Amino acid sequence: MEETMTRPGIAIDSLSDREKKVFFPTYERFSIGKVVSASGSYIYTENGDKYLDVIAGLGVNALGHSHPAVVKAVQEQVVSYMHLSNLYLQDVQVELAEKLSQLSGWSKVFFTNSGTEAVEGALKLARKYFSSADKTELIGVSNAFHGRTYGALSVMDKGKYRDGFGPFLEEAGSLIPYSEENLQKRVSAKTAAVIIEVIQGEGGIVEIPVPFVETLHRLQNKFGFLIIADEIQSGIGRTGKFFAYDHYGLQPDIVVCAKAIGGGLPLGAILSNETVASAFKPGMHGTTFGGNALACAAGLAVLTELENGLLDQVNTESEYLISRLYKLKAKYSETIKEIRGKGFMIGVELLKPAKEIHIALLEKKIITNVTANTVLRLLPPLIFNHENTDTFISEFDSVLTGV
């Protein structure tokens, strides 16, 4: 096996010869050995190692790994039926849509398989909504991440995701760089929609300032465009509210979510009110797998836990984690620059590349993630508790001592 080593024992390019032979070279994988099982906040490997998962499959495993409610729901569904397609009524899909509507306050739902598919659908919906007016422009906010498909890439600005893939959608783009002043210059009567991630996840857990949101609403009143909130990473309870936009006074017209909503199975959703949703008529938009019965069964288990008080737990437990991180920041002010985020969507900005700390944490059997080069990203499962935090902080402390 060819490996690139940064520290003894941890391979940053550990693709086996078999993997290298068969896969597109899109991922740099981190070696944690062969995973044999995962439960709650832990992942177990063949060698008997136990890893604390502070990234939850990139924000997906809301209830942790193999939560009994998710397992039961999927097991029960799999013996009834797995897939009927969207041409037939599926009770589990209707139940999930009703619960999502009840918890979110949005009356209309369209299920997708992924985040980027939800973004594409939302951008199409905005254009369709204004199809009889001369409003076609789609605008994103600098430093955001909305996915890897062409609509999403067209409203992003980071070269890392876009370079070499152009040309992108006409009449789409991003504020470069984002500021209230640029927003005022960029939007016009031609604008159909502005898409915004109120806490930019891939961008490094960057919170959009409230005055920017206020300017956005002022300009919306003037020009009449739609606001799309990308809650794919920040939604479904991750920040301690059902949607993160509630922390910032943003009142979107369309919301997209994914990741946590499927509790580990591929699921996303577009939400809107009745008027906006009615721009789509039968046959105008669709998906084969979106809203698949198994994914909906898992999603129903996630939303039921949220309905039954999980949000309170997220608030209490995340407050504890964040307070412990602030103590580490005070102790290691030469290494930690800033703690950002809300609830269980946290960025620890370091004064050096975060990869080194990430690798050192992996050696201590702690799984985190790096974004924006210097930011250690923490997206623990929403069931993360005091004991998990204590383990994480103690290992993080010992890694920081050695830096």
Ligand X SMILES: Cc1ncc(COP(=O)(O)O)c(C=O)c1O
Stretch that binds ligand X, among 111-119, 131-139, 274-282, 308-316 (CB under 6 A): 111-119
> Minimum Å distance from CB 299 to ligand X?
14
Q: Does 143 bind ligand X (CB under 6 A)?
A: no
Question: Of all residues in this chain, which one has the CB nearest to ligand X in the complex?
Answer: 115
SS3 101: helix
Is residue 41 a contact point for ligand X (CB under 6 A)?
no
Binding to ligand X by residue 201, rule CB under 6 A?
yes
Task: Name the DSSP class of 265.
Answer: B
Q: Write down the least CB distance from residue 150 to ligand X, Å.
A: 13
In 3D space, the residue among 203, 236, 245 whose CA is nearest the CA of residue 349 turns out to be: 203
User: Hey, which residues between 321 and 340 contact ligand X (CB under 6 A)?
Assistant: none
Instruction: Note whether 258 binds ligand X by CB under 6 A.
Output: yes
Q: How far is the CB of 270 from ligand X (least distance, A)?
A: 12
Residue among 10 and 144 whose Cβ is closer to ligand X: 144
Asked if 125 and 254 count as a contact pair (C-beta separation under 8 A), the reply is: yes
Alpha-carbon gap, residue 326 to 310, rounded angstroms: 24
User: In terms of CB distance, is 112 or 318 closer to ligand X?
Assistant: 112
Evaluate whether 139 touches 123 at the Cβ level (below 8 Å): no
Q: Rounded to the nearest whole angstrom, what is the least distance from the CB of residue 386 to ligand X in the complex?
A: 27
Which DSSP category does 209 fall into? P
Looking at the Cβ atoms of 147 and 263, the one nearer to ligand X is 147
Per DSSP, the three-state class of 143 is: coil
Binding test (CB under 6 A) with ligand X, winner from 202, 207, 253, 317: 202
Where on the phi/psi map is residue 198: left (φ > 0), alpha (ψ -120 to 50), or beta? Answer: alpha
- Counting every residue written for the chain, the total comes to 403
Q: Which is nearer to ligand X, 63 or 261 (CB)?
A: 261
Picking from 203, 207, 259, the residue whose alpha carbon sits closest to that of residue 232 is 259
Helix (H) or strand (E) holding 226: strand 226-230
Q: Which of 130, 145, 344, 396 binds ligand X (CB under 6 A)?
A: 145
Strand partners, 50: 44
DSSP 208: P
Neighbours of 276 (CB within 10 A): 20
Closest distance to ligand X from the beta carbon of 240 (Å): 17
Q: Which of 65, 99, 127, 146 binds ligand X (CB under 6 A)?
A: 146
**What residue has token string 């069931």?**
383
Closest CB to ligand X among 52 and 379? 379
Helical (H) or strand (E) element with 104: helix 91-104
> Least distance from C-beta 65 to ligand X, angstroms?
19
Q: What angle do CA 147, 345, 154 make, to 5 degrees?
A: 20
* Closer residue to ligand X in complex, CB, 40/268: 268
Using CB under 6 A, pick the residue from 40, 57, 64, 115 that binds ligand X: 115
Which one among 77, 90, 114, 220 touches ligand X, defined by CB under 6 A?
Answer: 114
> Per CB under 6 A, does 344 bind ligand X?
no
- How many residues sit close enough to ligand X to count as binding (CB under 6 A)? 14
Query: CB atoms < 10 A from the CB of 184, how many?
Result: 14
> Does the footprint of ligand X cover residue 116 (CB under 6 A)?
yes
**Three-class secondary structure of residue 263 per DSSP:** strand
Would you give the binding string for ligand X spanning residues 211-250, x where CB under 6 A is met? -------------------x-xx-----------------
DSSP string, 357-385: HHHHHHHTTEE-EEETTTEEEE---TT--
- Span of 43-51, 142-150, 215-223, 348-356 interacting with ligand X by CB under 6 A: 142-150
Closest among 255, 259, 264, 244 to 343, alpha carbons compared: 244
Binding site for ligand X (CB under 6 A): 114-116, 119, 145-147, 197, 201-202, 230, 232-233, 258
